Structure 1
């Protein structure tokens, strides 16, 4: 029987994929790439070398994509095949990045007389290719060359190991009770989910897990302080040497080795540290600019955050009987204060945001903004019964597609993300449409006929990930290297996602995405007004928390020699001393679960979230001026940002869209701290 991972159609046949198919398919795909490269080098040129190689590598990427995806959303039997495939793929890309003959082809093309007349996407693909060759060690010799390749392979293994440890630690801890009085304060949605979790384990009563919806429900609503402490301690100590599973999934040594190897990669390339290497492919010019941006914002946001926390402490003492706020009290006390001040809570809003209504409203927003329609296709095979598949259309023509996996479940990686099934590109058979995975971890539907009900926070998460998806799916670029999010500077890649979040707060849009799941009643004006009034509740505390992560990440990667686990902790403590305003538990090992920088693409780049927030708020301000559904402005963003992919520099595209370089005014206004004046441009 033929291997379904080879000669794939546009959409992977998830109903026919098996773990044992992985290694032979990846091996054959890589061998095909090598053969194509050898043939192309014999006749250098775009059409004779780069285009056929792009075709072969697209087949490899499309074979590896469902393997990587299934490891993230199902884990279990897919972990070992994924890790074996990852080793093969990493070795290939490392080998390719150090291929001097191919590098010579890129150089020859860039220096050719006709290069200036080439289409912009092709020119940009060659320019980025040359940069990436330099960053892959193509110029290294002998032992340095071998060390760089070995480090690259090992770093891929370690990143996977880090993520596995976090997932395993998350799944390893549960808390079971048959006494409902221990769960006082939890909303009915959380209780129903806990009961379903217990039943899934053949238990009676209720089961609390460390999955996002369960953890957040306890920390925000459980009146049982001892339970909050227990759940919080388990969560913040995951994959570390402390906590209830101390040492079992410990990421300490993994972090140390990752940082050592990253620092060595930078040294081998003649750079001072990994942060410098990371910025070589970002908008920011140098380390000093990034640190100035983060430190300036922290210095101005912290006084407001301190005031917010002092208010919370006063409230806790006066109204909640807590003389001292501990880390496991913060979210719970904040929710109580929010309810007293605004008489609103996420749980009160949840019945008005049934998942299907929110999804339909999101599609309406996108249709009005960018003239595309979304249609569900139940004939497409998926990997789980909860997964839905959709096509995007414009003027009746199919232009893209996406899978949506919305709900939390066991053995599924936490968080939310967008990933690519395949990119838009021109193939010998015609245009290949872009297809995306959109993954969230929302509370699943309760037992019976009740739908999944989202908090407004989850609503914004859905809009955020769909913004990433639009960046991938609405591109008009046909060259894979700069199609969709490919080639986009990492500190600009969050622009479309954070940009789309803004519509979640517009009354006109809230009317589209909300309706009581039982009565169909619109969100009452009173609740809407309260929700909007509470939008910036503790926004400064949230800002300094994000800056804590960003500063820790960037300063960590400014180290020239890597760092030990103790030094990592010491640096995090220093950063917290600079920016944090809330108490930190002794068992807190946030760094051991920081997937973004140790298992994702955000190493020395977590600052991108704050920088992209500046861009997104400033971009949205044009819609505020012209109308949130102004078609001309929507077309301007579509044609000027989303369709361009990585074919042009991000700052150049933004400046053309906005008519000037970005400034922070809109972000400060949206955050309720518009009196701050910052020098924010990290470029």
Structure 2
């Protein structure tokens, strides 16, 4: 028997991953073995002489690559959350092996014949809704991955998929390296004027850890970058930071331009091969939005409601900066700074006034309290469950009433050089049938929040609090899943529906009732004063037009990259310039480029899908209106949301699930109402 921990039975609580035993050298041999097992399982399905049916073909396929899926999920999660050079280097071997396996299965004629035989007689099989959905999804997975192509086209497709499997990780490695490459060490008090004491303390601790005792170090990780852009009086240094951030992986040593053009070209070639006009057409065929025309109309409708408001927002800031400091022309590196000053002026509070009430541990307790009040869940830390980094915590989840075990939950909150930027929810194991047994999920959230300092705990910005609630909303989608098949469970839903459970959770931290559960001063334990909550609420619509235009810019840039013929694209920068012209509220700055660090679409699964944040905002604004009508913690509405949306995964069409919850289709104006744009 192999001594490789990835191939041994996992013996921790609920077969939790033995992170303490897994080493870099274990991945490749384990994956090779797992691929062999998967191929044997496929061979067994093909060798079965019984006529193809739901169990011996569809369910058998669903479980054929369980072992390789398990190893892949462990590796791919660590590759973005905690990867040193040797672990990162494995990506070049691991992803092509996984892609080759999935190509082997999806391009196998005999397997597809069996799937098609079952699919063709689906109406006479007496399947329930979930079985029907799995059958349809399996059949579609084959046709969308080339099962109907000629032998020669299959070979071409296989090569394209191999190339793409390496380009995504390469793109994201460049972004990470470019982010880590920039450091700004300051030693003059004047250079750090305006920065809050907590931020300076963090910067001093970071400087000292890098051998610059008595100085301050700022970098491009969000907890360092954003406060600098928001509070630093020194305009030339803000410009320096902004330019460094906005040109990550554009030109220089870690340039992503070639990679972007190559990814776009291959995606388009792949879509064409499969009979679609463009990559966007291919992607959207499996989305609520259905096609690029619908998405473009949707984004344009929002833009016409947002643009004038966005221009007004910028004009107001420019006017304010002129009055305050005689600034003649406002630049992008001035916007965050004067925006914060104007907010103070208008609403008599400062984002930093909120921080003392958002000690990380209290916010985590707050998010757990929401899960308990809404869905009856409790979280209990278990220090015996292995974790992949000392900062990670593991919890067991239970239903409070019944005591039913609901799964495991991991949290990983702080930036480090081995972790990608941003925040995300992921799983080490999905909910559903595994090895013929119903299993509960192992869910994880990974963030990059403000770190504790030598004298202060981690005190979050309001934005970080919203991010935590957002990712926790995704986590609830995974945790509350009650499906039969893993591939339909939890967050395995249409991409433009997946953001509904996450975005709706953000609403509770804009309400007094929600904040009262956890927002307490880290020193005095006093609740956040009612007048501060009022000011916060009043400021919620502040610059909604500007923020909306910014999101629409990313959505439109994504659609442009994925619905334009790549043959017509000669240069990354001029293409971006043209694609964002309509949404821009500032003139373009030479040397700044967002396509080269737009990891969401080039390395993160959001290609032709970035619009879905806005799409889901419409759903979440409409859904939250229901909570507000019936009570923020209404047990009836929460139960409907849990039973029809959170627990159902992708077992039915999202619009059907939404209508079961709401009693009707979403009202598209709910979002514009919430943002005060109509």
TM-score by structure 1 length? 0.95
Secondary structure, counterpart of 2:409 in structure 1: strand
Q: How does 1:88-487 map to 2 (within 5 A)?
A: 88-112=97-121, 116-204=125-213, 205-241=215-251, 247-394=252-399, 395-428=402-435, 430-448=437-455, 450-486=456-492
Query: Take 1:281 and 1:206, find their aligned partners in 2: how far apart are those partners?
Result: 49
- Of stretches 187-196 and 538-547 in structure 1, the one that deviates more from structure 2 is 187-196
Structure 1 counterpart of 2:5: 4
Q: Secondary structure at the match of 1:577?
A: coil
CA distance in structure 2 between the partners assigned to 1:143 and 1:411 by the alignment: 41
Residue 99 of structure 1, CA deviation: 1.6
Please state whether the residue corresponding to 2:532 is helix, strand or coil. helix
Give yes or no for contact 1:259–1:562 (8 Å, CA) kept in 2: no
2:91 and 2:169 in contact (8 A); partners too: no
Question: Does the 8 A contact of 1:165 with 1:250 survive in 2?
Answer: yes
Match in the other structure for 2:65: 57
Q: Which moved more, 1:420-429 or 1:377-386?
A: 420-429
Shift, 1:49, TM fit: 3.6
Length, aligned pairs only: 666
1:295-331 superposed Cα distances (whole Å, 9 cap, x missing partner): 1111221011111111111101011221111111110
Alignment of 1:509-528 (within 5 A): 509-528=514-533
1:463-518 deviation digits (Å, cap 9, x = unpaired): 100111111121100212211122x1111111100011111111011011210000
Per-residue Cα deviation, 1:205-255 (whole angstroms, up to 9, x for no partner): 1111111110101111111111101111111001011xxxxx200000000
Q: State the shift of 1:419 in Å.
A: 1.1
Equivalent of residue 586 in structure 2, options 576, 582, 596: 582
Shift of 1:57: 1.7
Please say which of residues 164-173 and 314-323 is displaced more in the overlay.
314-323
Q: Deviations over 1:348-407 (max 9, x none)?
A: 100011011111111111111111111111111111121111121112121121110011
Match of 1:572 in 2: 576
| SS of equivalent residue, structure 2 residue 380 | strand
For residues 422 and 9 of structure 2, what CA distance do their matches in structure 1 show? 29
Question: Unaligned regions of 5+ residues in structure 2, if any?
Answer: none
Task: Give the Cα–Cα distance (whole angstroms) in 1 for the partners of residues 241 and 369 of structure 2.
Answer: 39
SS in 1 for 2:396: strand
Could you say if the C-alpha distance between residues 107 and 209 of structure 1 is closer, same or farther in structure 2, counting changes exceeding 3 Å? same
Distance 1:224 1:623 in 2: 45
- SS of corresponding position for 1:603: coil
Q: Within 2, Cα distance between the matches of 1:373 and 1:82?
A: 37
Q: 1:588-667 to 2 correspondence within 5 Å?
A: 588-667=592-671
> Hey, what's the Cα distance between the residues in 1 that align with 2:568 and 2:554?
17
Q: Deviations over 1:153-205 (max 9, x none)?
A: 11111011000000000001101122232111111221111111112212211
Unpaired runs of at least 5, structure 1:
242-246, 676-683
Q: 1:112 & 1:556 partners in 2: Cα distance?
A: 40
Separation in 1, partners of 2:334, 2:141: 47
SS at match of 1:13: coil
2:501 to 496, 504, 522: 496
CA distance in 2, matches of 1:421, 1:447: 33
> Counterparts of 1:342 and 1:323 in 2: how far apart (Å)?
25
2 CA distance for matches of 1:605 and 1:535?
Answer: 26
Aligned residue among 23, 40, 45 for 1:35: 40
Structure 1 counterpart of 2:550? 545
Q: What is the CA distance between 1:70 and its match in structure 2?
A: 1.5
8 Å CA contact retained: 1:302, 1:540: yes
Contact 1:253 1:565 in 2 (8 A): no
Secondary structure of the equivalent of 1:418? Answer: strand
Give me the whole-angstrom Cα distance separating, in 1, the residues matched to 2:579 and 2:566.
Answer: 19
Helix, strand or coil for the counterpart of 1:197? Answer: helix
CA contact 1:327–1:584 (8 Å) conserved in 2: no
- In structure 2, relative to structure 1, the CA distance for the partners of 1:351 and 1:8 (3 Å cut) is farther
Name the structure 2 match of 1:678.
Answer: none
Q: Is the 8 A contact 2:470 2:503 kept in 1?
A: yes
Write out the 4+ residue segments of structure 1 that deviate beyond 6 Å after TM superposition: none
1:535 aligned counterpart, secondary structure: helix
Deviation at 1:562, TM superposition (A): 5.1
Range with greater deviation from structure 2 (53-62 or 337-346): 53-62
1:339 CA drift (Å): 0.8
* Residue 46 of structure 1, CA deviation: 3.3
SS in structure 2 at match of 1:375: strand
Secondary structure, counterpart of 2:410 in structure 1: strand
Inter-CA distance 563–115: structure 2 relative to 1 (3 Å threshold): farther
Specify the alignment match of 1:680 in structure 2. none
Secondary structure at the aligned position of 1:442 is classed as: coil
Whether the 8 Å CA contact 1:40–1:50 is kept in 2: the answer is no
Q: Matched residue of 2:540: which SS?
A: coil
Partner of 1:505: 510
Residue aligned with 2:218, SS: strand
* Bigger shift: residues 576-585 or 187-196: 576-585
RMSD: 1.5
